[in-house]
């Protein structure tokens, strides 16, 4: 996935989370994240985790599609 596509889907996830009150929690140091987790009212919804010793390459498109499947659509612009 190109950097442009990652940015597009990151912004979609961020806007959808802001609209529906979902918290995005990143675990690890900047540019060396181990996990991304989404929580709504302190209840875990979904996440993406690093495998092995390599930093996480977040699949924002997958998270966006899962949010849409759960019924969280749209977002602020």
- Residue 77's pLDDT band, with cuts at 50, 70 and 90, is low
Average pLDDT over residues 33-60: 93
CA 22, CA 38: separation in Å to the nearest integer?
Answer: 6
pLDDT at residue 33, as a whole number: 93
CA 47, CA 56: separation in Å to the nearest integer?
Answer: 11
pLDDT at 76 over 80: no
Residue 70 · residue 45 · CB < 8 Å: yes
- Mean of all residue pLDDT scores within the chain: 92
Q: Where are the domains of the chain?
A: 3-69
What is the percentage of the chain residues whose pLDDT exceeds 90?
81
- Token pair listed for 75: 């977002």
């Amino acid at each position: 996935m190109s950097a442009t596509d990652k940015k597009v889907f990151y912004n979609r996830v961020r806007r959808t989370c802001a609209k529906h009150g979902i918290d995005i929690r990143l675990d690890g140091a900047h540019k060396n994240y181990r996990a991304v987790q989404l929580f709504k009212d302190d209840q875990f919804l979904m996440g993406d985790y690093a495998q092995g010793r390599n930093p996480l390459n977040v699949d924002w498109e997958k998270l966006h599609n899962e949010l849409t499947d759960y019924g969280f659509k749209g977002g602020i612009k």
